[in-house]
Structure 1
Amino acid sequence: MILHKSNALTFFTPNPIKGLGAPFFDTGISAGFPSPAEDFKEQRLSLDKELVKNKEATFFARVSGQSMIGAGLDDNDLLVIDRSLEPSHNKIAVCFLDGEFTVKRLKVNTDGVWLKPENPNYPIIKITAENDFIIWGIVTNVIKKV
C-alpha cells in the first residue's frame, strides 16, 4: 500500500506474508570457482524476519534519483527504513527537509548536521535553524533488482 509519494521517495507499509517462507539452502554460493557438491540442507527463509526487526516502525520506500549511487542506492531500489533506530554520524537516513523527503548520509559533529549525497554531482546540505528538518528513519537494507 502506498503511503506517500514525493520527488525522491515513494513510501510503502510492509505487508507481512503469512506462511513458511521461501526455500533457503544454507551452503554458501561460490562467487569464484564452483565448490564440490555438498549435502544441501534445506531450510525456510522469511524475508520479513531477515529484513524487518521492528514491525511497527518499519517502512519501505522506493528511491527516485541518483544522489546516493556511491552508497549503492540506485534509482528504483527499495529501501527498508526503521524509524525506531537512533540517528547517528555516517548512517544513511531518510529525512524530511523543507517539505520534501530525501535520503542522504548523515554527517554529525560539534559544528552541526549535514546531509551528504554519495554522488559528486549533488551538493552537501548544511542543516540550519531555518530548515524544516526531521530525521524520519534509518535505512537498514536495500533491495535491488538484477
Structure 2
Amino acid sequence: MSVTILGPVATGGHTLPLYSFHVPAGFPSPAADHIEKHISLDELFDIRAPHVYLVKIGGDSMQGAGIYSGDLVIVDRSLDASHGDIVIAAINSEPVCKRLHRSENAVILMSENPKYPPRYVMEGDELVIWGVVKYSVRDHDNA
C-alpha cells in the first residue's frame, strides 16, 4: 500500500446544505426537500488546520477497514496513536497506512486484508507515526 501526502487542509471554507431527512436508496419522497441547516465540511470532519492533512491511499491492504485505493483519508497528527487506531506511519522511511497493534512485547502494523501478513516492528526498525486516520472520502466515479 502506498500513500501520497497531499498536504494540510486550509481553514475556512464554504458551508453546504444539510437536508433533515435520510436519503432512501429507492425513490425519493416529494415532501423531503427542505434544508435543516447549512454545515461546513471543516466542522463535520472536525478539521483544524495545521495539524490535519490529507493523504491519498494506493493499494488494497486496508479494504477490510473500508479504505480503498484512490480514497482520501483525513489524518490528525495531533492525536497520540493508540492500540487499534488506523495510522499513517513510516517504517524505515516507507510510508504506510495500517492498523496499529501494541502489546507489552511487540508493535505490529496490521493490514485489513488477509492477503497481506502483519508487519512486526523489530529492534533496529525506525517507526514514525505521522498521524491517526479520522475519516476517509471515496470518489465513486473511480470506484
What TM-score bracket applies, with the shorter chain setting the length?
Answer: 0.7 to 0.9
1:17-56 mapped onto 2 (5 Å cutoff): 17-19=12-14, 21-31=15-25, 37-38=31-32, 40-56=34-50
What pairs up with 1:1-146 in 2 under 5 angstroms?
8-12=2-6, 13-19=8-14, 21-31=15-25, 37-38=31-32, 40-146=34-140
- How far apart are 1:24 and its partner, in Å? 1.4
Instruction: Give the residue type in structure 2 aligned to 1:126.
Output: Y
TM-score normalised by length of structure 1: 0.85
Query: Does the CA contact (< 8 Å) of 1:54 and 1:84 recur in 2?
Result: no
Q: CA deviation at 1:41?
A: 3.4
What are the ranges of 5 or more consecutive residues in structure 1 without an aligned counterpart?
A: 1-6
Give 1:35 deviation, angstroms: 6.1
Question: Equivalents in 1 of 2:39, 2:125: separation in Å?
Answer: 43
SS in 1 for 2:50: helix
Q: Equivalent pairs: percent with the same residue?
A: 32
- Unaligned stretches of 5+ in structure 2? none
The answer for the alignment partner of 1:4 in structure 2 is none
Decide whether the 8 Å contact of 1:25 with 1:43 is kept in 2: yes
CA distance 1:119–1:39, change in 2 (3 Å): closer
Q: TM-score, normalised by structure 2?
A: 0.86
Root mean square deviation, CA, Å: 2.0
- The equivalent residue for 1:3 is none
Q: Distance in 1 between matches of 2:26 and 2:101?
A: 36
Q: How many residues align?
A: 139
Deviation string, structure 1 residues 109-135 (Cα, Å, up to 9, x no partner): 112110000111111011122111111
